[in-house]
Amino acid sequence: MSETSVRRAGNRVFIAGVALLILWVLLPIWLLFVNALSAPAEVTGFPKRFIPSFDLASLSFFFGFSGVIDALWNSVKVAALTMILSIGVGAPAGYALSRFDFPGKETFRFLVVMTRAFPLPLLALPLAVMFIRTGLDDTILGLALVHTTLALPFAVLITFSLFSGIPLELEEAAWTLGCNRVQAFTKVILPLAAPGIAASAVFAFVISWNEVFAAAVLTVENRTLTAFLLQSLDVSPLPLKFAGGAALVLPALFFIFAVRKYLFAMWGIANR
Amino acid sequence: MPRLLPYLLLLPATAFLCLFFLYPFVQVAHDSVMRNGVYTLENFSRMAGHWKFSTAFWNTMLLAAVVVPIQLAMALTMASIVTKLQRGRSSILYIFAIPLGISDLAAGLIWLSVFEQSGFLNSWLVGLGIVDQPILLLGYQNTWVIFIAIVLAEVWRATAIMMVILVAGMGLIPKEYGEAADVFGATRWQKFRRVTLPMLKPSLQTALILRVILAFEVFAVVVALGGTQLPVLMSETYHWQFAMQERGVAAAFAMVILGVSVAFTILILRLLHVPKGARV
C-alpha cells in the first residue's frame, strides 16, 4: 500500500470512530425520548419500536401524577436559589483572588480546592440534624444551602478566572477618570464579565437540578423532582419513570448548550 | 480599608464553607463515634457486622476499579479526537459533553429503558433471533448483568467530565513539543505516549481525583437499575439513615466513604506528582 492509501484508510477509521462515539452518546438519550413520547401501553409492551409514536399520554400521565408539578416547581426554586447564593457568595471571592495579594490567599484556595476531595452529598446527613434545630428542615432554603456548597467551589474558581482575564488597566483607567472602586466595577468590569458569570450561574443551576442524594435525604414534604423520582422508583410504573427521566434530561440539554463556550473556562481552570 | 477589602470579599464564602463544609464533616465524624450520648465504636461494629457491609464495600470498589480505567481510556480518546479535529469541532465537543449535564438518576433511567424486560436490548435480541422471549435481565439471578448495566450507565454519564478536563489540559500543551517530536520522526503513538501523556499529568490528576471520588459516591444509577439487589456504600448509607433510622451507623458509613476518598486522593496525588517547576 502506498502512503496516501494508508493515510486514507486511517482517516476512514478516524471518521468511523467519531461517528461511533457520537452514536454512543446520543442513542441512549434517543431511546429515553422514544419511551417518553410513546403511549403507556407501548412503553410496557413488547417488542419496542425505535421510533416514538408521539403519543403524549405518558407525559400527561406524568404531569398529572400527584406531586409531580410540586416537585418540578420545588426543583426550579431550589436550583434558582442555589444559583443566586453561589454567585452572590462566590463571585466576590473570585474577584478578591484575582485582584489582590494578601496573606491567607493560599489557605483560602486550599479550602476551596479541598472541597473537591470530599464526597459532598454526605454533608446532608449531619446537616439534617442542624436543620431540624434551626427550622430549616424540609425547606427549599435548607436544600439550596447544601447545593450551594456543591456549586460554590466552581463559582469561585470560574469567576476567579473570568476576572483574571480582564486587564487591571481597564479598572485603573476608570479610577483615573473619576470612578470609585464600586463604580469602576459595575461600569467596566461587570459588563465584560457578565456572560461568563451567567454561564457559571447556569452551571450552578444544573448542579442543583441534578443532585439526588442530598435532596432525597433533606426533603420529605417538599421533595424536588430527583427526590420524588428516587423515592417512588420501586412503586412507579415504567411510563412514569421514563417521562420523569425525560423531564430531568431536557432542561439539562439546553443548559449545556447555553454554556458550551464556557465549558473549558470552567473545567480548564479546575486544574490549578 | 484597601488592606481589609479582600478579606471582606472573602468573608461570605469562607463563612459559608466553614458552616456548610467544615462543620458538617466534624459533626459526621462525631456522630459516627457517638451512640446514646457516649463515645463508642459500636456504630462501626454494627456497620461491619451487618451482612451487607462487605458486599456493599466490595461492589463499590469493584465498580470504581472497572469504570474508572474504561473512562480514562475513552476520555483520552475523545479528547485526542476533539483536539485533532479541524471542522465541526465545537458541535462534536457539545455532543460529547452532553452527559455532563445529565443527572445520575436520569442516566440510570436511560439505561433502564435499555435493560428492562420489555426494553430495547430484549427487543434487539428477539429481533435478531438470539433469544425466543424477552429475558429478565435485571433480576437477582444474574446480578452480573445489573453490574454491567451500571458500568455502562456510569461510563456513558461521567466520561464527559474527564474529557472536558483533558481537552482543556491538551490545549495548554505548547505546540512546539509536538513539532519537535515530529522533527525527530516520532509516530503518532510515540508522540501521544512520550509527549502528550507526560505533559497532561496535572489534568490527569484533577480528572482522576474528581472521577474516583464520584465513583465512590455512586448511588442513583445503582438504585435506578438494581433497586436493592446490588448494594453499594452510598445506598447503604441512605438505607441506614432512612429505613433503619440509625443515624450513627449511617455516619459510620459516611466515614468509610470519606476515608476511602481521601486515601485515593492522596494516592493519585503521589502517583501523578508533578514537580512545581515542571508545570506548563
Give the residue extent of every domain in chain B. Answer: 29-53+232-251, 71-229
Query: What H or E segment, with its residue span, contains residue A93?
Result: helix A68-99
Q: Which residues, including other chains, have CB under 8 Å from residue A218's CB and lie 6 or more apart?
A: A124, A127, A128, A131, A137, A138, A142, A143, A146
Phi, psi (rounded to 5 degrees) for A196: -65, -40
Which residues in chain A are contacts of B9 at CB distance < 8 A? 92-93, 95-96
Within 8 A of A256 by CB-CB distance, chain B residues are 94, 97-98, 100-101
Residue A270: what pLDDT?
46
Which residues of chain B fall below pLDDT 50?
Answer: none
Q: What type of residue is A158?
A: I
Other beta carbons within 10 angstroms of residue B99's beta carbon come to 26
A50 membership: H or E segment, kind and range: none
Which helix (H) or strand (E) covers residue B135, if one does?
Answer: none
Residue B152, pLDDT score = 96
Q: How far apart are the C-alpha atoms of A141 and A130, rounded to whole Å?
A: 13
- Nearest chain A CA: its distance from B112 CA (Å): 9
Distance CA A147, CA A222 (A): 15
**Which stretches within B20-50 are classed as H helix?**
23-32, 42-49
pLDDT, position A266: 65
Which of A14, A212, A217, A229 is the best substitution to test chain B (most B C-beta atoms within 10 A)? A212
Partner-chain contact A125 B164, CB within 8 Å: no
Q: Cα–Cα distances in Å, from B89 out to A2, B86, B96, B165?
A: 29, 6, 10, 16
Quickly tell me which residue has 452529598 as its cell.
Answer: A121
ipTM of the shown complex: 0.88
Which pLDDT belongs to residue B51?
87
Task: Take residue A4 and report the three cell numbers written for it.
Answer: 496516501
Kindly report the CATH number that applies to the domain delimited by B71-229: 1.10.3720.10
Q: Spell A50-61 as b/e; 16+ CB within 10 A means b.
A: eebeeeebbbeb
- Do the Cβ atoms of A126 and B251 come within 8 Å? yes
Question: What is the DSSP track for A146-171?
Answer: HHHHHHHHHHHHHHHHHHHTS-HHHH
Q: What is the dihedral of CA A54, A60, A61, A65, to 10 degrees?
A: 150
Q: Which of residues 133-162 of A touch B (CB under 8 A)?
A: 145-146, 148-149, 152, 156
Distances (CA, A) of B44 to A125, B47, B59: 16, 5, 19
The predicted pLDDT at position B185 comes to: 87
Q: Are A264 and B171 a contacting pair at CB < 8 A?
A: yes
Residue A19's pLDDT is 92
Q: What is the pLDDT of residue B77?
A: 93
* Spatial contact of B120 and A50, defined as CB atoms under 8 Å apart: yes
What is the structure's pLDDT at A167? Answer: 87
Cell numbers 420524588: residue? A228
- Interface list for B 23-62 with A (CB within 8 A): 23-25, 27-28, 31
Q: What's the pLDDT score for residue B54?
A: 93
Min Cα–Cα distance to chain B from A157, Å:
12
pLDDT reported for residue A271: 46
Position A2 scores a pLDDT of 67
Q: Is B54 exposed, middle or buried, given 0-12, 13-18 or 19+ CB atoms closer than 10 A?
A: exposed
pLDDT at residue A179 in the model: 87
| Yes or no, beta carbons of A238 and B116 under 8 Å apart | yes
Question: Of A25, A26, A62, A33, nearest to A49 (Cα)?
Answer: A33
Q: H-type helices in chain B, by residue range?
A: 5-17, 23-32, 42-49, 51-84, 89-97, 104-115, 120-127, 143-172, 175-183, 188-191, 197-199, 201-216, 220-226, 233-242, 247-271
Chain A: nearest CA to B87, how far in angstroms? Answer: 12
List per-residue pLDDT tens for chain A, 272 residues long: 567 787 788 888 888 999 999 999 999 999 999 989 988 888 887 777 888 888 888 888 889 888 899 999 999 999 999 999 999 999 999 999 888 888 888 888 888 877 877 788 888 888 888 898 898 888 999 999 999 998 998 888 888 888 888 888 888 888 898 888 888 888 888 888 888 888 889 989 999 999 999 999 898 888 999 999 998 888 888 889 999 999 999 998 888 888 887 777 666 554 44
pLDDT, mean over chain B: 88
pLDDT value of position A233: 85
List, as ranges, residues 89-118 from A with C-beta within 8 Å of B. 89-90, 92-93, 95-97, 99-100, 102, 104-105, 108, 111-112, 115-118
Whether residue A47 is preceded by a cis peptide bond, meaning omega within 30 degrees of 0, is: yes
Give yes or no for a contact between B202 and A271, defined as CB atoms under 8 angstroms apart. yes
Report the pLDDT value the prediction gives residue A272, as an integer from 0 to 100: 44
Grid cell listed for A77 = 426554586
Residues B77-128: tens digit of each pLDDT:
999 998 888 888 888 988 998 998 899 999 999 999 999 888 888 888 888 8
For chain A, say whether B168 makes contact (Cβ under 8 Å).
yes
Query: What is the H or E stretch that residue A195 is in?
Result: helix A190-210
